[in-house]
Amino acid sequence: MQLKKQLLLMKEIIITSKITVFETIQELPLAEQNLMLKAVEVRKNAYAPYSKFRVGAALLLDNGEIIVGSNQENAAYPSGLCAERVAIFYAGAIYPEATILKMAITAASDNNNNKTTTPVPPCGACRQSIAEYEIRQDTPIEIYYMGETGSIHQSASLKNLLPFMFEKKLL
pLDDT at site 77? 83
49: CB partners within 8 A, 6+ apart: 73
pLDDT at site 10? 76
Show pLDDT as tens, one digit a residue, over the chain (171 residues): 565 655 667 788 899 999 999 999 999 999 999 999 999 999 999 999 999 999 999 999 999 999 999 999 999 988 999 999 999 999 999 999 999 999 999 999 998 777 899 999 999 999 999 999 999 999 999 999 999 999 999 999 999 999 888 888 888
pLDDT at site 167? 83
Enzyme catalytic residues: 84
pTM, whole model, 2 decimals? 0.91
pLDDT at site 76? 93
Of the candidates 75, 60, 114, 69, which has an alpha carbon nearest to the alpha carbon of residue 87? 69
- What SS3 class is residue 68? strand
